[in-house]
Structure 1
C-alpha cells in the first residue's frame, strides 16, 4: 500500500462514512503475513481501515481485502487494483453474494470454451449451422485464442450445446476456459504414457515454461534445451557446422536435426524443436521475419512444418509456442475436441 491508493479514502469521503479499523479485515491481513512467515509493514494498516459500514470481501491471493457498501438502490463493490486478485475475488466472493441477494441471477449459467487454430469469423460461420436452442452465444478474442461464451438457463441444454460446438469445430482445439493448451497437451501425452524433450531457439524456453506452469509436468517433460546460438545447436544437438553453413539455423534441415538430437540425448519418446526469426531484425527476402520451422521426431520419423507468421516479436514467439503445444495436444494425429 502506498499514499496514492486513494479508493478507500474516496469512498469514505463520498458517502460520509468515517474510516475505522475493521477487525475482520485486520485479521485477514495479519493472517496473510503469518502464512508467509513475514512481519507486516506499518503501511499495511491502511488495508484494514475501511468505511464504517463496509462488508469485507476476503482476498485469497493478496493482502488487501475488498469491501461492499450498500447505498439506497445501489450496491457498490471495491477491489484492489491487481487484476488477478480482483478476478479471484469476483469469482469467489462477489458473485456468490450477488446470487444470494438476487436469486433470479442464478437461473443463468455460462460455459466458456477456448479455441486455438480457427479464427473468430470462421468459428462464427461454422457455428451458424449448429442448432443451439435456448442458448445465447457470444465471442471474444484473447490472442491467439478465441473465447466462445454459451449462456442458458437449463444445465442439460448447456451440456448439449457445448458438445455441439466441439463437434462443429473439427479444425481447432477446444478446451474449457479455466484450462490451458499446455494442460491439454500434457494430458494428451500422459494418457499415452509418452515422454517429451524440447529444443528451443526462437522461443527461448517459452514452450517449456508453459508446460512446467502445470503441476505434474514431470510425468511427461524429460528436459528442455534453449539452443539459441549455433554453437549450442552444434554442441548439444549435433547440428553440424556444414549443415548450418549450407542451410542456416532457420531451416527445415536444422529443425529436423534439432528434434532428432534432443530426442536421442534424452531418450524420450518425442523430441520437439523450433527455430525461427522472431524479428524485428534478421529477416531476408528468402527468409523473412516470421519464418519458423517446427519439427517433431518420434519412432515413426521426423515431421517438419514451415510456419509463416506475422506481427511483432512477441506475437511471433507466442504463436510459435501455441502452435507447438497444439501439435502435442493433437499427437499423434487427431486433436482434442
Structure 2
C-alpha cells in the first residue's frame, strides 16, 4: 500500500511550529511496510486542503492528515475530508458525554461554539479514541481508500498511532505484509559529490536503494530495503553495506545513530588514551559533544574556553609574543593552545580551535569563518587552516566537527602525512 501525509496548519507554513509529527507517522507506516511517496503541508484553508486531499487520494491508498481537529472555526480537516469523500459525519454519543463531563469539571455553564464537533466521526469508518485530548481522530473508508485524521499535539498523536492506526493497517496489509528497513552509513572527510561518484552504480538499484544526503560537515548514505521479514531486508542491505565500505574505506565512521563524538570516545577508550580541549570560537562545543557520551570521563581530561588573549596566556601558557606577532587566529596560536591544554590536563592528546565566527571581527586577510585547529601529542604538534561559510552558529558547529574529525583521523592513522610536524 502507498500512503501520503498532509500536515495542516498555517503556523507550519510560517515556520512558527516545527513539524515533528510527520516523522512519527512516517516511521509508523514504515513499520507496517507501507510506502510514502509524497508529503505536504497546507494552511488552514478549506479549499486548498480539499484540493490537496483530492490529489493525494488519486495517487495513494491511504491519506493521513495531521492537525485541524480542534474546536475552533479554522479546524476543518475532518469536515473537509468528509466532503471530499462524500461521507457524512455523525456524532459519537460516548465522546459527547466525555466532553460534557470535562466541561462540568472546568465549571462551564455553556460550551464554546463548535466544541462538540470534536465528537464527530465518519458514518463509513470509525473514530480514533483520544485519551490525552478532546478531539477524536477518524478513519474514513471508501472504495478501497482510507483517510485518517490525527490531531497535531504529539502527546495525542503518538498514542493514537500506536494504539489504533498501526494495528488497523497491520490487519489491512496482512496479506501483502512487507517490512522496510534502513541502514545509515556516516561518512567524514569526503564530500558528497565524491561519495556519490564512488557509489553511483549502486544508487541505480531499486531494492535496496542507496541515497546520499549531506549533514553539517559530513555525508550520510541511507541504504533501504523492502522484504517480507526483517531478516530478509537486512540480508539485502548487508552486501550493499559491504560494497560501500570497500569503496569508501575508513571515511565511514559509524552507522545509524552513532555520532562522530561517539566514534572518537570509542577509539580513545580502545587505545587507552585521553584528550583535552582548548576552544575559542567553538565555545566549548567540542567538550560538550564528547562529555555527552556515557563513560567519556575515562578519556576526557579537561576543557577550557579561552576567548580572550589574557585567558590564553594564563590558562594555556600561550606566549604573549606569539599573540602579538601572529594574532589569536593563527597556526602558531592554535598549536600553542593544543600544547598548553595537553600539558595542563596531563592528557595524551590536546586539540584546539581558534577562529572568527562572526558576524563581526573579520578582515581582508582573515575573513569571518577563518578557523585554525591544533593537535598536540607526545610526538609533535600540527595545525590546520579551514574557511567555513554560514552564520556564527554554523561556523562554531563546523569548527567543532572538524576538530573531532581531526582527532579521529589521528587515532586511526597517526602515520599519515597530515600528522607530520608542522613548520
Equivalent residue number for residue 32 of structure 1? none
1:227-242 correspondence to structure 2 within 5 Å: 227-242=306-321
Equivalent residue number for residue 138 of structure 2? 69
Aligned partner of residue 148 in structure 1, secondary structure: strand
> CA 1:89–1:211 in structure 2 vs 1: closer, same or farther (change >3 Å)?
farther
Aligned partner of residue 250 in structure 1, secondary structure: coil
1:293-312 correspondence to structure 2 within 5 Å: 293-312=372-391
Q: Post-superposition shift, 1:224? A: 0.9
- Measure, in 1, the Cα distance between the counterparts of 2:305 and 2:337: 11
Aligned partner of residue 221 in structure 2, secondary structure: strand
User: Is residue 115 of structure 1 aligned with residue 173 of structure 2?
Assistant: no
- Of the three residues 245, 260, 266, the one matched with 1:187 is 266
Q: Post-superposition shift, 1:287? A: 1.9
> CA 1:132–1:279 in structure 2 vs 1: closer, same or farther (change >3 Å)?
same
Q: Post-superposition shift, 1:262? A: 0.8
> CA 1:185–1:96 in structure 2 vs 1: closer, same or farther (change >3 Å)?
farther
Q: Post-superposition shift, 1:161? A: 0.7
What TM-score results when the alignment is normalised by the length of structure 2?
A: 0.62
- Measure, in 2, the Cα distance between the counterparts of 1:87 and 1:193: 46
> CA 1:88–1:257 in structure 2 vs 1: closer, same or farther (change >3 Å)?
farther
User: Is residue 149 of structure 1 aligned with residue 222 of structure 2?
Assistant: yes
1:1-337 correspondence to structure 2 within 5 Å: 7-9=68-70, 10=75, 11=77, 16=89, 20=95, 54-55=127-128, 69-72=138-141, 73-76=145-148, 78=150, 80=152, 97=167, 98-99=169-170, 101-103=172-174, 104=176, 106-128=178-200, 134-152=207-225, 153=227, 154=232, 155-170=234-249, 172-334=251-413
Q: With CA pairs under 8 Å and 6+ residues apart, which has the higher RCO, 1 or 2?
A: 1
- Measure, in 2, the Cα distance between the counterparts of 1:65 and 1:190: 51
Q: Post-superposition shift, 1:268? A: 1.2
Task: Say whether the 8 Å CA contact 2:150–2:157 is kept in structure 1.
Answer: no
Task: Say whether the 8 Å CA contact 1:118–1:171 is kept in structure 2.
Answer: no
Task: Say whether the 8 Å CA contact 1:65–1:80 is kept in structure 2.
Answer: no
Q: Post-superposition shift, 1:220? A: 1.8
Aligned partner of residue 7 in structure 1, secondary structure: coil
Aligned-residue CA RMSD in angstroms?
3.7
> CA 1:158–1:245 in structure 2 vs 1: closer, same or farther (change >3 Å)?
same
Task: Say whether the 8 Å CA contact 1:57–1:94 is kept in structure 2.
Answer: no
- Measure, in 1, the Cα distance between the counterparts of 2:134 and 2:306: 45
Larger Rg: 2
- Measure, in 2, the Cα distance between the counterparts of 1:176 and 1:309: 26
> CA 1:112–1:264 in structure 2 vs 1: closer, same or farther (change >3 Å)?
same
Task: Say whether the 8 Å CA contact 1:111–1:150 is kept in structure 2.
Answer: yes
> CA 1:111–1:57 in structure 2 vs 1: closer, same or farther (change >3 Å)?
farther
- Measure, in 1, the Cα distance between the counterparts of 2:309 and 2:247: 44
Q: Post-superposition shift, 1:128? A: 2.5
Task: Say whether the 8 Å CA contact 1:8–1:50 is kept in structure 2.
Answer: no
Task: Say whether the 8 Å CA contact 1:66–1:80 is kept in structure 2.
Answer: no
- Deviation string for 1:122-160 (max 9, x for gaps)? 211011255986422223333333332212234222111
Q: Post-superposition shift, 1:315? A: 2.0
What TM-score results when the alignment is normalised by the length of structure 1?
A: 0.76
Aligned partner of residue 412 in structure 2, secondary structure: coil
> CA 1:289–1:108 in structure 2 vs 1: closer, same or farther (change >3 Å)?
same
User: Where does structure 1 lack aligned partners over 5 or more consecutive residues?
Assistant: 24-40
Aligned partner of residue 178 in structure 2, secondary structure: helix
- Measure, in 2, the Cα distance between the counterparts of 1:325 and 1:88: 36
Q: Post-superposition shift, 1:196? A: 1.4
> CA 1:51–1:131 in structure 2 vs 1: closer, same or farther (change >3 Å)?
closer
User: Where does structure 2 lack aligned partners over 5 or more consecutive residues?
Assistant: 1-10, 12-16, 18-66, 83-88, 99-105, 108-114, 415-423
